[in-house]
Structure formats: structure tokens, C-alpha cells
Amino acid sequence: MTKTIQPRRLKRIGETTKDGLTALWLLLPYGILFSLFIAVPVAMSIGLSFTHFNVVQTPKPAGFFNYITMLTQDDVFFRNILPNTIQFALLVGPGGYILSFLLAWILAQIRPLPRTVFALALYTPSMAGGVFIGFIWRTLFAGSQSGYINALLLQYNLIDKPIQFLQEPAYLMPIMIIVSLWSSMGIGFLAMLAGILNVNEEVYEAAYIDGLRNRFQEIIYITIPSLKPQMLFGAVMAIVGAFNNGAIGVALSGVNPTPQYAGSLIINHIEDYAFQRYEMGYAAALSVALLGIVWLFSKIAYKLFGEKD
């Protein structure tokens, strides 16, 4: 017995090291690029956030100065940027997410051919890049009478002079949210649609035998629980998408900072400090705050949909 077991164990150890070596070679290129453009920049952000740095001179240590400034001195940050970011992220992240789940569910209730057509119509806006999303909606909401929305409202006598939609602080944020929702039915939406279609029909049948009564109960007790993994993926994508879309306010209004900071999000604030004022230390502290906020949102998503094991 021992004779046969012994060599086998040896062989397995040998295979593991060989596997490890091949894996190392295969992982190396991705690892290097991942470190260079994702891990190192994140680490550098954290490092730089504790310094004064103007790009030209070497960074000078500053302790918690940047963070203290952010919390106590930066009025704009507290009065505009942070509330804007949270409002925008909540409506576009979870809001867009719930919307994409409902739409995916509705699409699953109709026949395959119309479903494909509708899915394509809903997905198409998410393929337009940031610059052109800005362009399309700038033209639609243009402040002169030839702007589409203004022309429509004028024609039906709902207003008597054109509204400067994109320069008016009261309108900018709602428009940003609408535009972002419009372009948010992306990869997370497709994931959920595929997930809903994949739920085994027998599960539903069994549940109805067990006393399930209507489609609402169906969603709560069957669809969402069987979809948890896709729901989580979709949630993370929605959150990241909402924060990645942060430049939309500047793209729409054409200026950074946006009029009275009405549409400025933390991303714009970072760019403002980094590439216009060259206060890289402070910009880095803002980046860390942003990564922290994204992490916090994702944490909540994992709490809601993650499988406990």
C-alpha cells in the first residue's frame, strides 16, 4: 500500500510546482500591466495624498494636511462637490441599477425576436463614448431657440423664451442624471437579462405548487435569489459606471468648474486641482476619497447580494 501511495504523492507535489511555474509565466504580463497601471497608481495616490506636490519639485511630506484641508478648508467640496457626487451616484448607481433590472425582467417576458430588438435599442446609448454623449445632449438641450427641447417647448407655448438649460444651476444636475441613466443600460443590464433567462423553469413550477401566487412574489422569492451572482456583478458595474461617468457635467456645460459648481462631481474637482492648479497632493487626497466612496458603495452591494460562506 505505502509503495503505491508514496510515488503518487510525490508526483502530485511535482506537478503543483510545475503548474506554479507555468502559471507564473502566464500571469507575468498581466501582472506587470496590472501593477503598472492599476496597483501602482492606487498606491501612489495614497502616498502622494500625504505630500505637497506641484509636479516640478519633489513631493514634500505634509502629513494629514491635505485631508484636514479637505474636511475643514475646502468649502466648495463640502457645500457642492460631495452632496453633488452622492446625489448623482445614488440616483445613477442604484437608480440605474433598479431600472436595468426591471427592464431586463420585462424583456424576459416577451418573445425572443422583439426582445433582441428592444434590448439593442436600450443598449445602444451605452456604446456612445463620453465625448459624444456630451455632444448629443448639448445639441438637444442647447440654450438658443434652435435647441431641440427649447424649440419644442416654444412651439407649444410652454415657455416664452429659451431656457439656458446647461448653464442654469437648477437644470444642470437633473439633466446630468437623465443623460447618465440614458447611457447606463450597459454590460450589467445584459448580464441581468441573460441571468433571468437562465433561471430554470422547473424552479418556478415548483414554487407555484408550493403556493406562489403572482409575478411580484415570483420576482421576490425566485428571480432575485436565483440571480444573486448576476445582481452583484450588475451592482458593481452600476456603481463603477456612475463614478466613471463623472465628467458628464463638464461635457454638458462645457466648463470646469460647472456654473456655480452645480454639476461638479468629485472627478471634476480632482481634474481641477491636478491639471489646472497643479496641486497634485490635494488631488491625490481627493482620489483616495473617491476610491473610498466607490469601495463603500460596493461593500453595501456585496452585503446585499454576496453569497455568505
Partner 1 sequence: MANFQGSRINPRKFSASQIKFYVLLVPLAVVMILPVIFIISQAFKPMDELYRFPPTLLAERPTLRNFQNIWGIASATAIPLLRYLVNSIIITVVTVVLSVLLTASTAYALSKKKFRARPWLLRINQAALMFVPVAVAVPRYLVIVNTRMGNTYFAHILPLLAMPVGLFLVKQFVDQVPDAILEAARIDGAGEFSVMFRVVFPQIGPALATVGILCFQAVWNATEASNIYITDETMKSFAFYLGTLTVDQSPAMQGIGAAAALIMFAPNLIIFIAMQSRVMNTMSHSGIK
Residue 190 in contact with partner 1, rule: CB under 8 A: yes
| Strand residue runs (E) in the chain | 51-52, 60-61
CA–CA gap between residue 25 and residue 269 (Å, rounded): 41
User: Of these, 52, 94, 125, 255, which contacts partner 1 (CB under 8 A)?
Assistant: 125
Residue 304 in contact with partner 1, rule: CB under 8 A: no
Query: Which residue, 151 or 163, is less far from partner 1 as judged by CB?
Result: 151
Residue 107 in contact with partner 1, rule: CB under 8 A: yes
Is residue 141 packed enough to be buried (19+ CB in 10 Å), middle (13-18) or exposed (0-12)?
buried
Q: Which of residues 8-27 bind partner 1 (CB under 8 A)?
A: 16, 19-20, 22-24, 26-27
Residue 41 in contact with partner 1, rule: CB under 8 A: yes
131 Cβ contact list (under 8 Å, min separation 6): 251
User: Of these, 128, 163, 224, 255, which contacts partner 1 (CB under 8 A)?
Assistant: 128
Residue 64 in contact with partner 1, rule: CB under 8 A: no
Q: Which of residues 207-246 bind partner 1 (CB under 8 A)?
A: 207-208, 212, 215, 218, 227-230, 232-233, 236-237, 239-240, 243-244, 246
Q: Which of residues 260-299 bind partner 1 (CB under 8 A)?
A: 267, 270-271, 274-275, 280, 283-284, 287, 290-291, 294-295, 298
- Cα radius of gyration rounded to whole Å, the chain: 25
CA–CA gap between residue 244 and residue 151 (Å, rounded): 32
Grid coordinates representing 32? 506587470
Residue 255 in contact with partner 1, rule: CB under 8 A: no
Strand-pair partners of 61: 51
Grid coordinates representing 155? 412651439
Residue 82 in contact with partner 1, rule: CB under 8 A: no
